[in-house]
Structure formats: C-alpha cells, structure tokens
Amino acid sequence: MSAPDMISRRLVLAGLGALAVAPAHAALPVPPGRRLAFDVMRKGKKIGSHVLRFEPSGDELKVLIDVALAVGFGPITLFRYKHHAVEQWRGGDWLSVEATTVQNGKTMVVTGRRTAAGVAVEGPKGKFVAPATTLAATHWNRRMLDGPFLNTQTGEVQRPKIERRGEVMVPARGGAIRADHYAMTGEVALDTYYDAGPTWAGLRFKGGDGSAITYERV
C-alpha cells in the first residue's frame, strides 16, 4: 500500500472513530456557541429578552431558559413576566423539564418527566400523564412541532395545527435571517421560524392587548 493510500485510510478510520464517540445529543440543533438569545420587541421597542444556554456533559444535555419581560406606561410597569426553565436530554431523547413562571406577582410551577407510562405532568392544571411523544414547548428544537407539546407556563398539553409556509426573511439584530416559517393555529396562535441549522430564528405572536410581539435573534 502506498504512503498516500495509508494516509487516506488513516483519515477515514479517524473520521469513523470520531463518529463512534460523538455524543448522541450532537444530532440536536445546539448552536455553535452553546447560547441562543433574542430581543423581545413590541411596537419597535425592546421589552425584554429570551436567553437559552446549552450545557452538554457526556451523553447528556441541559438547556437553561430565562425570559424577562416588562411593559409599562411612563414610570409605571403594567406587565412584568419572568420565566425560568431547565430541560434535560440524554442520548438525543428528551427526559424532563422544570419551569417556574412569575407573571405580575403570580407564580406558576410546571414539571414534566418521561416515564414508562408517558410524560408525568404536574402544574396548575393538576397531575396527569401525557402521551410519550410529548416534548416541552421550549421552541429551540424544531422536533417540538412534530407532536403534542407541553406548555411550560400553564402545564397544558397542546396540539395546534401547524403549517409550513415556506422561506421568509426574519428580523435579527444587525440584519435579517432566511428561515422556514411555521404557523400555528387552533389552541396556540403564533409564528415560529428556523434557519437552515435548523436553529430557532424567531417568533411572532399577539400580546394580550393585540399588539405584535416579535423575537429578534441577537
């Protein structure tokens, strides 16, 4: 075998070895910087932020989610919202979510854990077992759109109609991102977007007063 052939063979074997030891969660759309952040905009003004941090460890992945919003009139804050969630994955499979939401002083806690019987949910709606295909509605993983998802604020399992509406340009800090547009209707009404990654690229929905709320990726 010639020297070039030997080198080529070694490179192929090295590549196969790398694939063999790569953690299963590597198939998940984790951003290269292990962080995903959005400015939350309303009427052209920033009203808060939505930040996700990804912490891989061996075959496991922890996703930490923090949302902080405040809407006011002059010096008076009319709406305040904070949400913190921790999501766990192993080997590419979703395991659990724990979420706490504080909205205008009211606290809501939701947990969801995968069990042999399905997803055990506990929250404001009580305790129940959701279908095994349920994922947490944390948005960063497009797989969420494939089946029912758990609303991490209310504890409800939701099954909206989802329609892919093609590629669009969505706003981002410093420019725009080309992304696939998915529209949700029915139990949930919002528009979500994913780039070619597929990394979560944006979100759009109506606030309680009917104003448009948009996410602009930082």
Question: Distance (Å, rounded) from C-alpha 136 to C-alpha 157?
Answer: 9
Q: Is residue 176 part of a domain?
A: no
Calculate the dihedral angle through the C-alpha atoms of 135, 42, 83, 34, rounding to the nearest 10 degrees. 70
Domain that holds residue 28: 21-159
Of 150, 134, 143, 133, nearest in space to 188 by CA: 150
Residue 65 lies in a domain: yes
pLDDT at 23: 56
Give a yes or no: residue 197 inside a domain: no
**114 domain-assigned:** yes
Confidence at residue 25, expressed as pLDDT on a 0 to 100 scale:
60
| Structural domain includes residue 63 | yes
Which 8-state DSSP code applies to residue 31? -
pTM for this predicted structure: 0.85
| Position 215 in a domain | no
Rounded to the nearest integer, the mean pLDDT of the chain is: 90
Does any domain span residue 185? no
Place of tokens 């080309």: 178
Q: Which residues contact 207 (CB under 8 A, 6 or more apart)?
A: 42, 71, 213
CA 151 to mean position of chain CA atoms: 12
Let me know if residue 13 belongs to a domain: no
In angstroms, rounded to a whole number, what is the distance separating the alpha carbons of residues 147 and 162?
A: 10
Contacts of 105 by beta carbon, 8 Å cutoff, 6+ apart: 80
Q: What is the pLDDT of residues 144-186, one digit of tens each?
A: 999 999 999 999 999 999 999 999 999 999 899 999 999 999 9
Number of domains in the chain: 1
Gyration radius (Cα) of the chain, Å: 20
Kindly report whether the peptide bond that precedes residue 198 is cis, defined as omega within 30 degrees of 0.
yes
Sign of CA dihedral 110, 213, 55, 105: negative
